[in-house]
Amino acid sequence: MATDPPPKARRSIPAPSPDDGPDPNDPTSDLVAQVHHYSRAVTAAELRRLARRNPCLRADDLEVIDAALDELVESLLLARLRGLPQHTTRLKRLFGTARKTS
């Protein structure tokens, strides 16, 4: 749509780079980064599947769908994970990211 912002401007958070480490001031940052990375992998796979099943979709169409899925992940998962630092240990167990210490 003509009034939509450019696709990159709609993205709520950038994809993590390999050099990005957890924020020491945010106890949930490691979990948030892991869930974000996993959700991006799921979204990318679904976009590839959608493009194969519906070859008439243009790159612009796929970018709009990608941005909408990113917004859903941000609002339904990532924002809530950031807002629950007191439950980080339980959430890490739920997502299989708890680390054992020796």
The pLDDT score that the predictor gives to residue 81 is: 83
The pLDDT score that the predictor gives to residue 86 is: 75
> Does pTM surpass 0.75?
no
**Are the CB atoms for 77 and 39 separated by under 8 Å?**
yes
pLDDT one digit per residue (tens) for the chain, 102 residues = 444 445 554 444 444 444 555 554 454 557 888 889 999 999 999 999 999 999 999 999 999 999 999 999 999 988 988 888 777 777 777 766 555 554
Query: Is 6 domain-assigned?
Result: no
What are the structure tokens assigned to 100, written together? 């054992």
**Number of domains composing the chain:** 1
Query: Is 80 domain-assigned?
Result: yes
| Euclidean distance between CA atoms 52 and 76, whole angstroms | 27
The conformational region for residue 75 under phi > 0 = left, psi -120 to 50 = alpha, else beta, is alpha
Query: Is 101 domain-assigned?
Result: no
Helices (H), the chain: 7-10, 29-53, 59-73, 79-82, 88-94
Structural domain for 82, as ranges: 29-94
